[in-house]
A and B are shown apart, each in its own frame.
Chain A
Amino acid sequence: TQLLEQSPQFLSIQEGENLTVYCNSSSVFSSLQWYRQEPGEGPVLLVTVVTGGEVKKLKRLTFQFGDARKDSSLHITAAQPGDTGLYLCAKGSGNTGKLIFGQGTTLQVKP
């Protein structure tokens, strides 16, 4: 059972457009991670957000952690075909550090 809900599940846009992906939970996170996964590869960590209201930027990607630490968003400005992939949010669970992932948002950016 996925405890993190991501939306939308699939997004197909033209190069140059902006987009936002959302990650929501009914429970509070101590921290949240965003990963990007390309086909046939493992997920790669993009960012970790820890503080409620925190905003982090990674080039054209902007990550925001909700004030109540129950939600997060990823905004991509001027998307490029190289941004194509599966975007996953994840939270750590328990003392083991295992990750609970959302179901992911598949992004396709057309040239």
Chain B
Amino acid sequence: DTGVSQDPRHKITKRGQNVTFRCDPISEHNRLYWYRQTLGQGPEFLTYFQNEAQLEKSRLLSDRFSAERPKGSFSTLEIQRTEQGDSAMYLCASSLGLAGENEQFFGPGTRLTVL
């Protein structure tokens, strides 16, 4: 399977705990995005990487959230001191980043439930 993969698919945690999600993009894609999606809504942009550089972060990304893409390949999203409001689907997407090309390929997401 050469698509975008995410791990874990589901995570249940207690409020206050830290969680980390992983995304493996399509291998030749240099752009990587994280989105958050709550039930019945469209995804909302969280952050963007061009290779290993994090070039944009949404205001939705509070200081409890941190994302990395250390070697320009896989990426991790960590949430510290989780809150119930963090419960959502976290989606990763990647793209080639060609000029004028916005096609993004999404992973299956990690569903986070904070109790």
* A69 vs B40: C-alpha distance when bound (angstroms): 26
A residues lining the B interface (CB < 8 Å): 2, 4, 6, 9, 31, 33, 40-45, 48, 88, 90, 92-94, 96-104, 106
> Contact flags (1/0) for B98-109 with A, using CB distance below 8 Å?
000111111111
* A99 vs B104: C-alpha distance when bound (angstroms): 9
B53 to chain A, nearest CB (A): 11
- Are A97 and B102 in contact, CB atoms less than 8 angstroms apart? yes
Which candidate, B14-22, B62-70, B89-97, is the interface stretch facing chain A? B89-97
Please tell me which one of the listed residues B31, B91, B105, B111 contacts residue A97 in the complex, with CB atoms under 8 A apart.
B31
> Contact flags (1/0) for B12-41 with A, using CB distance below 8 Å?
000000000000000000010101000011
Q: Contact residue range for chain B?
A: 20 to 34
B residues lining the A interface (CB < 8 Å): 4, 31, 33, 35, 40-45, 48, 50, 55-56, 91, 93, 95, 97, 101-109, 111
Q: What are the residues of chain B within 8 A of A9 when measuring CB–CB?
A: 40
A92-B102, A106-B40 known; A98+B48 contact, CB < 8 A: yes
